[in-house]
Structure 1
Amino acid sequence: MSRKEPNMNGRIIRINRVPAAITAILLTIMLVYFLNFHTDERPAIYGMLRSDDKVDMRKLLIASIQAAQRGGLEVLDVARTRQLKERSKGKTLEGVNDPFTDADGRSHCVMKQGLKRIFPRVHIFSEEDKEHCAHAHSFDLDPTVLHETASVPDLAVTAQDVTIWVDPLDATKEYTEELYDYVTTMVCVAVAGRPVIGVIHSPFSGETAWAWVGHSRSEYLDELYRKPRLDAAEPIITVSRSHTAAAKDVARQVFGEQVSLLTAAGAGYKVLQVVASNATAYLHTSIIKKWDICAGDAILRALNGAMTTLKGDPINYGPNESPVNKEGLIASLDAHGEYLERLSKYSNDHKLR
């Protein structure tokens, strides 16, 4: 359809309204696309970062607590049904069976999928990354998981600097044996390779120990930490029950034949024994995966303790590092330097592996 318009010279100009309207619509669509989508794809310039290049640490803390607790619910649910669907992933270097259950898989899916939906731009590693999650699992951020007096500021960091380590079920072997005290679900947030947020949730007690280094920690963790401290001069060393012989031998040679040993399962559980002063240090002499130890490392740092390799080196939890720590570890709240000195003297004549 067209209409006639006179021009300045009295001539008639025919304007076709349909093509003009189509052209206007197309220009509008192109403009909307450019403003809403194209700008997000442009690289950062002049040292400025887009908002989606940043991630809020307070939200990371809340989501990490929720993920550990949601994973714990899956662990509890499978335990109640006793439908473990247990199978073996092989044997550890110590020759111990490394089992996998339906609880490991279900906990992994709800923990990793939930975190990935909220933080799609951060690196997330889980012990069960090979497990296929058929259904989407998610949760919304719930700030009520923090206690009212928690000091948790809004602090933004670069998303690509963040690595999250997820252990969906620590101490699976003991879980199959119904030794539930050892069982935990864990989440750790590392920034530039340093562990800064650690969450250790105990599904069967319902308690959650968490800490954000330099900022805040859970009331339950404070409760454990307030217990009377042991004398570091009379060490009680907690070691793994799955390779007790090797660890006991090293502990006795390093700390003396009269050293007290606390055998336990689960790296998360053993760190909490140190925090609660049931042990003065946690010793591990063989390789160990970083999702087993990152949360405990962060918690000890928040309490002015330390977790290092047996050589005294900090453990790097960055995305480009190996997920395996091959140098063993020593973790303590007090006298860490003294323990390292003793280990150094021993390692001059022995290879700690």
Structure 2
Amino acid sequence: MHDKTDILKLFEDSAIAAGHLILDVYRAGAEVRLKGDRSPVTEADEKAERLILDALSRHLPGIPVVAEEEVAAGRIPDISAGRFILVDPLDGTREFIGGHDDFTVNIALIEYGAPVLGVVHAPALGTLYLGGTGKAEKLAIDAEGRVTMRHEIAVRSQHTRPSALVSRSHNCDATDAYIKKAEILERKAVGSSLKFCLVAEGAADIYPRFGPTMEWDTAAGDAVLRAAGGMVSTEDGAPLTYGKRLPGLRAFENPAFIATGHPQERG
């Protein structure tokens, strides 16, 4: 399987299947453990990741996969060829634990540092976003995992009252300072990678992030936003890249970034 349309469909199907599994755990209640970095993990994270990895290994055996829980266990594949997949089976674990519905399943294809395909699925919301193959789409998913609606999305035109999105669980003073300096008065706290998707569909204008994130947290949402006409940039205006090894950061850790629907304004 090498056609990008087929790969994106595989990502879509895998994310929906993982979402079903996650919702089963969500409704039953999940036992929470702490990983070595003190971040939480649940049975839903682990089961969803195994499901996705199994599907990817069957259909895309030649593409290495970097997945959050695999990396936490010390299993990191060779990505030197420049083409690999990033998986976050449950982004927004704190939202999941806290009973909020804005947690997501994230799968993205990276080629030479750029996210070229991405899927972000919010199973509790019945929503899935796709980015790649020349367009971004928003899908409605019913309780049986069937697509009941599909339409293209795009960032909105800039207007006089821009709105910003911030992390519900990981906001920081530097992000607040950026929003204040930019004179953005309207802001909303949202969990997980949905923030990229809300900018992509024109529900907000900007998502600045100065707290720590990992590449699997951002790649799928980044792909959706780029396909919708936006961009995710570092503080110096360069596109955020993947497969990084930056001084002072852990492997696969992102620097601060700004996700925006108006990349021309970033210079």
| TM superposition score category, shorter chain reference | 0.7 to 0.9
Gaps of 5+ in 1: 1-53, 92-96, 133-158, 342-353
Whole-Å Cα distance in 1 between the matches of residues 153 and 82 of structure 2?
A: 30
Name the structure with the higher helix share: 1
Q: 1:271 aligns with which of 184, 196, 204?
A: 196
Q: TM-score, normalised by structure 1?
A: 0.64
Name which structure has the greater RCO, CA cutoff 8 Å, separation 6+: 2
**Size of the alignment, in residue pairs?**
248
Residues 242 and 265 in structure 1, CA contact (< 8 A), matched pair in contact too: yes
3-state DSSP class of the match of 1:237? strand
Q: 1:89 aligns with which of 10, 35, 48?
A: 35
Q: Is 1:80 matched with 2:27? A: yes
TM-fit CA distance, 1:303 = 1.5
3-state DSSP class of the match of 1:199? strand
Q: 2:83 aligns with which of 152, 156, 162?
A: 162
Residues 137 and 153 in structure 2, CA contact (< 8 A), matched pair in contact too: no
Name the structure with the higher strand share: 2
* Matching residue of 2:253: 324
Residues 307 and 332 in structure 1, CA contact (< 8 A), matched pair in contact too: yes
Whole-Å Cα distance in 1 between the matches of residues 60 and 179 of structure 2?
A: 45
Residue deviations 1:268-306, cap 9 Å, x none? 211122123332101101221111111111111111211
Q: Is 1:56 matched with 2:3? A: yes
Residues 201 and 208 in structure 1, CA contact (< 8 A), matched pair in contact too: yes
Identity %: 28
Q: Is 1:185 matched with 2:105? A: yes
Q: Cα–Cα, structure 1 residues 123 and 232, in superposed 2: closer, same or farther, change >3 Å?
A: farther
* Matching residue of 2:188: 262
TM-fit CA distance, 1:80 = 2.0
* Matching residue of 2:14: 67
TM-fit CA distance, 1:130 = 4.9
* Matching residue of 1:291: 216
Residues 106 and 119 in structure 2, CA contact (< 8 A), matched pair in contact too: yes
Residue deviations 1:6-59, cap 9 Å, x none? xxxxxxxxxxxxxxxxxxxxxxxxxxxxxxxxxxxxxxxxxxxxxxxx833233
Q: TM-score, normalised by structure 2?
A: 0.82
Residue type matched to 2:110 in 1? Answer: A
| Equivalent residue runs for 1:103-182 within 5 Å | 103-130=44-71, 160-180=81-101, 182=102
Q: 1:238 aligns with which of 160, 165, 168?
A: 165
Residues 235 and 255 in structure 1, CA contact (< 8 A), matched pair in contact too: no
3-state DSSP class of the match of 1:304? coil
Q: Cα–Cα, structure 1 residues 77 and 244, in superposed 2: closer, same or farther, change >3 Å?
A: same
Q: Cα–Cα, structure 1 residues 323 and 288, in superposed 2: closer, same or farther, change >3 Å?
A: same
Residue type matched to 1:69 in 2? Answer: I
* Matching residue of 1:42: none
Whole-Å Cα distance in 1 between the matches of residues 82 and 179 of structure 2?
A: 40
